[in-house]
Amino acid sequence: MDKVIINAALTGMVPTRDDTPFVPLTTDEIVADAVRVVAAGASVLHLHIRYEDGEPAYELERFRELFTGVRRACPGVIISGSTSGRTVSELDKRAQVLDAGPDLGSLTMGSLNFPKQPSVNAPQTIVGLARKMCERGIVPEIELFDLGMVDYTRTLIARGELKPPFYANILLGSLGTLGSGGFNLSMVVNALPDGMIWSGAGIGRYQFEMNCLALAMGGHVRVGLEDNIWMDPLTKRDLASNVRLVERVVSVARAMGREPASSAEVRTLLQLPLVKAA
């Protein structure tokens, strides 16, 4: 695909108002940011929710309110709901987002250490989430932080727990996981199952580097404040916003002769319904 899927991870679980005034935390703020990044070229929105105090939340009704608001404001946009296990481990809590009707659902293919906490993804939890997504017609947004996670993805495909279409984010550069760089990204891409659509993402100071490498290799990108809050992480003099991050990666893609893919084009590629009701 010559066009580029731009996946905007708007909120995440970590950035706070103390870190940056630009991170959207409330439903209204996330919807407003969604409108801006979609206008700038994003076709996929990777969404988390927060409580009023800014802490990560997981409840169905909160996700449902957010998804409804985003779909009304951005008709046709592809929504990926986070099933993250950083703060909750129970399968029933992590799966509540799936009943809110996202197009995609995040599926991290193993446990890992972030700089300040682990993300525990037990085999039975991964399989349980995959099965619930399959039952609901939700495409897994496979998250790969290490080469071993690719091997486990292949195993679940062979067992029939994962079925096409296959879409993955390769997230490199977080302390405790595979480092960033062209060699590591190429190694992971070469190990991917046939037919897997992939995006490159970098954590913190590696975001722009990984986005550019992915674009040059013919892949797609994930970008946003969930992974990095700076335009220049080395000097930390210029706080980013989601729309500025998207605009920058769009400009690089266009310099390479690649236009952002529309949500309709991505829906066709990922075999998603062309219309998802608000």
Strand partners, 113: 118
Confidence band of 87 (pLDDT split at 50, 70, 90):
confident
Q: What is the pLDDT of residue 117?
A: 85
pTM: 0.96
Q: How far apart (Å, rounded) are the C-alpha atoms in residues 122 and 118?
A: 12
Confidence band of 85 (pLDDT split at 50, 70, 90):
confident
Q: How far apart (Å, rounded) are the C-alpha atoms in residues 23 and 240?
A: 9
Q: What is the pLDDT of residue 32?
A: 98
Amino acid at site 59: E
Q: How far apart (Å, rounded) are the C-alpha atoms in residues 70 and 104?
A: 14
Look-up of token digits 């991290």: 108
The answer on pLDDT for 278 being more than 70 is no
φ, ψ (nearest 5 deg) of residue 52: -60, -30
One CATH from 3.20.20.70, 2.30.30.90, 3.40.50.1370, 3.40.50.300 for 6-269: 3.20.20.70
The answer on pLDDT for 255 being more than 80 is yes
Q: How far apart (Å, rounded) are the C-alpha atoms in residues 13 and 49?
A: 8
Helix (H), strand (E) at residue 66: helix 60-73
- Per-residue pLDDT reduced to its tens digit, 98-111: 999 999 999 999 99
Q: Calculate mean pLDDT across residues 210-218.
A: 98
- Per-residue pLDDT reduced to its tens digit, 135-163: 999 999 999 999 999 999 999 999 999 99
DSSP state of 192: S
Q: What is the pLDDT of residue 45?
A: 98
- Per-residue pLDDT reduced to its tens digit, 22-79: 999 999 999 999 999 999 999 999 999 999 999 999 999 999 999 999 999 999 999 9
Tell which residue, 106, 128, 103, has the closest CA to residue 48: 106
Q: How far apart (Å, rounded) are the C-alpha atoms in residues 199 and 185?
A: 10
Q: How far apart (Å, rounded) are the C-alpha atoms in residues 229 and 206?
A: 11
On average, the pLDDT of the chain sits at 96
